[in-house]
Structure 1
Amino acid sequence: MAILNGMRVVEGSAFVAIPLAGMTLAQMGADVIRFDRLEGGLDARRWPVAPNGRSLFWAGLNKGKRSVAVDMKSPEGRELITRIVTAPGEDAGLFLTNLRVRGWMDYETLSRHRADLVMLTLTGDRHGRAAVDYTVNPSLGFPDATGPEGSTDPVAHVLPAWDCIAGNMAVAGLLAAERARLRTGRGQQVEIALKDVAAAMLGNLGILGETELTGQSRPKAGNALYGAYGQDFVCACGRRVMVVGLTQRQWRGLLDVTGTAEEMDALGRRLGRDLSQEGERWHARHEITAILEPWFAARKVADFADAFDKAGVAWSVFRDFRTAMEEDPDLSTENPLFTRIDQPGIGELLTPQSPFAFSAARRADPAPAPQLGQHTEEVLADVAGLSSGEIGRLFDKGVVGGPVPAA
């Protein structure tokens, strides 16, 4: 039995963070019901897409959910969503959204129908303005600290980091409010802003303090690891590796395998720096790299891979996505995280289940994402409590819809 079996969460969402939050809960066993417009939500055709045009983005972030398609412009459609969100049940009345609509899909309105409603809302910024990762990052300074040393062009990151972090914080916020409800019987509204997630991490990682106290912005450092030693090297086989000497064990392992301990000791004496300290290694990074570069340039990855692993060196080969799938068994069914499932409308895909492994609960196999409207009829019956006649009338009027074929 999955750890959240019996919990019901309703999701009205788009983009990354809230769909990720709903999927995370679904993969731990919660019954997550997603509602969308009849023609599909904002993510229905979002890239990346399969060769037939089906959205791999949708398939990836909606695994294991139930899907309801509703005409949200109609009063009947809005009433249906309200009934689904506020349906009775001790483990129900939990709502995730980043599509808040004042006067309808907001906490004040919905809690009139269920006083113990727990509703988590993600906004772009604390003022309610729109924001996504690609606007938050530039506004807070990260692209200006990213890129080759000495360059001036900002570099935006391809990973939507704040969306990913906000999605998992949304899970934590919803479960915390649900736990409070179990203890007190009271529901509540939980709000989180994407930009605040990023701003908080600026403070948590010490970047704000560093900037405030030094009066300087962190400079670009290429692939170097800020504040310690980490650098990329090109090997004799043409492959590039990343090597990190963050901890003392990692640093000593790197020196032992490369046979450069005496040179590093001499370098430290010459520079007046104790290279056993990670911050001192940062200041001496260019000189350290000059010593190590010839060693890597004279060797293929296969020549040192086993020795690095045995010595506890933190390192990796640089790969693109395709090469990673071809070479790394962690991106295959050798890793218990993954299995192959049939995603309707797309075909068989390598698919992750939840990364959590609970000792007292089974980690369930991943379920495919639903087709749009696949569960409309069953949700109207078992959650909204409608009769078959009422459901048929709603389908006939076009208030709700069933599965929509690919365009």
Structure 2
Amino acid sequence: MSALQGIRVLDFGRYVAGPYCATLLGDFGADVIRMERLEGGEDRGIAPVPDSGDGALFLQMSRNKRSVAYDPRAKGSAAMVERLIADADVVVVNVPPSALGKMGLDYASLKRIKPDIILANVSSFGPNGPWTDRPGFDSVGQAMCGSQYLSGSGDTPYRTPITWVDHATAVYAAFAVMVALFERQNSGRGQEIDGSLLGSALAFSSTFLIEQALTGLGRTAIGNRSFLNAPTDTFAAKDGFVVTQVVGDPIFRRWAQLMEEPHWLEDERFSSDEKRGENGEELSARMARWVAERTVAEALDQLAAARIPAGPVLSPQQALEHEQVQAMGLIHHLDHARLGRSVPLTRAPINLSETPAEIRRPAPGVGENTAQVLGEAGYSRDEIDALAASGAIRVAG
């Protein structure tokens, strides 16, 4: 039995922060229903893959979900959504707070339908402040938390294409839903959950925010080096790049032994992580010469033997093929009928010994499950056909 079997989630989210929250719940057994417009959500085609209208983002975010496609403005749609809410435990949305009321998904409206409902809304900037109704995406969170300012070579701030702000917000939201479900089990009460991209980004950036507030240090970007230790950097080998992260005196001593240069340990400029970070350019230069004389594999083998944290810089294809990635079993190849091939989906990267996450079904087609879900809600076949004929819903097939 799955951990969340019997929990039903209505996913009104788009792109990452809302949908991935629902995905994680679905991976652990919740029945997740993706609510989308008749032509399909605008997030379906991002990073499109061959021979399909689906994008890589959608394939990952919408596994283990069923699709209900509807026109929210059509006659009968509001009543249909209310019936689905009445059978739901959780509603997931990611829109500005003011848009919830317009969608009929504000907490007060949901609570009137289902008193113990849990609403999780993740917006760009949260429910308070002058920016509360502004739109935003992952890059805005990266830019406003200090991360982008501290990245790059110091001329142009760099953002990462990996949407860590979106994903962090989704994980926080899924955690909050689990806390709310636990509380409801004890008290019978539902509740409203507010999360935001900016809030998640600030939480992840808290080390440098606290440091700045208490010291006024005013750090600026220094490339791939670390502010806090060294030699932590990216180095060119004969056939690729290697990353090292030398943190703490014991690892630094092992690094000096690997270099066969004990004088580093006697130099006051390198006597602590803080000082090594301040003088990291010299340590990086030494490490760069050492790595340049070796292949990636040679460098990594010697670093591993010395117990120094290090890894290769991998392309996406190399990441898929890497022996450690494959051994971890995180990539799940799921057959996908619309693509006519298997899709390498990334599992939830945590494992529960008794109730593990499972990828049970591929991302659905638009309205693929509308008739099934409405039938479960008590609609007759004639009522479903009438809604489809009026254009209120889309029924696949």
- Tell me whether the two structures share a fold, i.e. TM-score over 0.5: yes
Residue 52 of structure 1: how far off its partner (Å): 4.1
Q: Which amino acid aligns with 1:133?
A: D
Partner of 1:400: 393
Q: Which amino acid aligns with 1:279?
A: E
Partner of 1:146: 151
Q: Among 338, 343, 347, which residue is 1:349 paired with?
A: 343
Partner of 1:231: 233
Residue 190 of structure 1: how far off its partner (Å): 1.4
Partner of 1:96: 92
Q: Which amino acid aligns with 1:111?
A: K
CA distance, structure 2, for counterparts of residue 224 and residue 318 of structure 1? 15
CA distance, structure 2, for counterparts of residue 23 and residue 358 of structure 1? 16
Residue 317 of structure 1: how far off its partner (Å): 1.3
Q: Which amino acid aligns with 1:400?
A: I
Residue 385 of structure 1: how far off its partner (Å): 1.4
Q: Partner of 1:295: helix, strand, or coil?
A: helix
Conserved? CA contact 2:245–2:309, under 8 Å: yes
Residue 155 of structure 1: how far off its partner (Å): 1.3
> In structure 2, do the counterparts of structure 1 residues 322 and 392 end up closer, same or farther at CA, with 3 Å as the change threshold?
same
> In structure 2, do the counterparts of structure 1 residues 81 and 330 end up closer, same or farther at CA, with 3 Å as the change threshold?
farther
Residue 48 of structure 1: how far off its partner (Å): 4.3
> In structure 2, do the counterparts of structure 1 residues 288 and 84 end up closer, same or farther at CA, with 3 Å as the change threshold?
same
The one-character-per-residue Cα deviations of 1:108-154 (angstroms, maximum 9, x if unpaired) are: 11211111111111121132321211222223332221102xx3212
The one-character-per-residue Cα deviations of 1:8-64 (angstroms, maximum 9, x if unpaired) are: 111101121111001111111111111100111121222244354431211110011
> In structure 2, do the counterparts of structure 1 residues 176 and 102 end up closer, same or farther at CA, with 3 Å as the change threshold?
same
Conserved? CA contact 1:249–1:312, under 8 Å: no
- Taking the TM superposition and a 5 Å limit, the aligned residue runs for 1:17-96 are 17-50=17-50, 52-87=52-87, 92-96=88-92
Partner of 2:295: 300
Q: Which amino acid aligns with 2:136?
A: A
Q: Which amino acid aligns with 2:244?
A: V
Q: Quick check: 1:176 aligned with 2:176?
A: no
Partner of 2:114: 114
Q: Which amino acid aligns with 1:97?
A: V
CA distance, structure 1, for counterparts of residue 364 and residue 37 of structure 2? 14
Q: Quick check: 1:387 aligned with 2:389?
A: no
Q: Partner of 1:223: helix, strand, or coil?
A: coil
CA distance, structure 1, for counterparts of residue 58 and residue 40 of structure 2? 10
Residue 309 of structure 1: how far off its partner (Å): 1.7
Conserved? CA contact 1:339–1:366, under 8 Å: no
Q: Partner of 1:10: helix, strand, or coil?
A: strand
CA distance, structure 2, for counterparts of residue 401 and residue 147 of structure 1? 47
Partner of 1:251: 252
Conserved? CA contact 1:131–1:195, under 8 Å: no
Residue 75 of structure 1: how far off its partner (Å): 3.7
The one-character-per-residue Cα deviations of 1:178-213 (angstroms, maximum 9, x if unpaired) are: 2111111122211122212223333xx332222223
- Taking the TM superposition and a 5 Å limit, the aligned residue runs for 1:126-145 are 126=126, 127-145=132-150
Unaligned runs of 5+ in 2: 127-131
Residue 274 of structure 1: how far off its partner (Å): 4.8
Q: Among 296, 309, 314, which residue is 1:314 paired with?
A: 309
Q: Which amino acid aligns with 1:102?
A: G
> In structure 2, do the counterparts of structure 1 residues 48 and 358 end up closer, same or farther at CA, with 3 Å as the change threshold?
same
Q: Partner of 2:301: helix, strand, or coil?
A: helix
Conserved? CA contact 1:64–1:366, under 8 Å: yes
Q: Partner of 1:222: helix, strand, or coil?
A: coil
> In structure 2, do the counterparts of structure 1 residues 138 and 111 end up closer, same or farther at CA, with 3 Å as the change threshold?
same
Conserved? CA contact 1:144–1:152, under 8 Å: no
May I ask how many residue pairs the two structures share in their alignment? 386
Q: Which amino acid aligns with 1:199?
A: L
Q: Quick check: 1:358 aligned with 2:352?
A: yes
Q: Quick check: 1:376 aligned with 2:370?
A: yes
Identity of aligned residues (%): 25
> In structure 2, do the counterparts of structure 1 residues 224 and 51 end up closer, same or farther at CA, with 3 Å as the change threshold?
farther
Conserved? CA contact 1:253–1:308, under 8 Å: no
Q: Which amino acid aligns with 1:56?
A: A
Q: Which amino acid aligns with 1:389?
A: D
Conserved? CA contact 1:241–1:318, under 8 Å: yes
Partner of 2:129: none
Unaligned runs of 5+ in 1: none
- Taking the TM superposition and a 5 Å limit, the aligned residue runs for 1:158-197 are 158-197=161-200
Q: Which amino acid aligns with 1:58?
A: F
Q: Partner of 2:10: helix, strand, or coil?
A: strand
Conserved? CA contact 1:244–1:250, under 8 Å: no
The one-character-per-residue Cα deviations of 1:154-193 (angstroms, maximum 9, x if unpaired) are: 2122122211110011101111112111111122211122
> In structure 2, do the counterparts of structure 1 residues 379 and 366 end up closer, same or farther at CA, with 3 Å as the change threshold?
closer
CA distance, structure 1, for counterparts of residue 200 and residue 214 of structure 2? 22
TM-score, with normalisation over the residues of structure 1?
0.89
Partner of 2:277: 282
Partner of 1:324: 319
Residue 95 of structure 1: how far off its partner (Å): 0.9
CA distance, structure 2, for counterparts of residue 193 and residue 164 of structure 1? 11
Q: Which moved more, 1:223-232 or 1:44-53?
A: 44-53
Runs of 4+ residues deviating >4 angstroms: none
TM-score, with normalisation over the residues of structure 2?
0.91
Q: Which amino acid aligns with 1:376?
A: T
Conserved? CA contact 1:174–1:190, under 8 Å: yes
> In structure 2, do the counterparts of structure 1 residues 37 and 359 end up closer, same or farther at CA, with 3 Å as the change threshold?
same
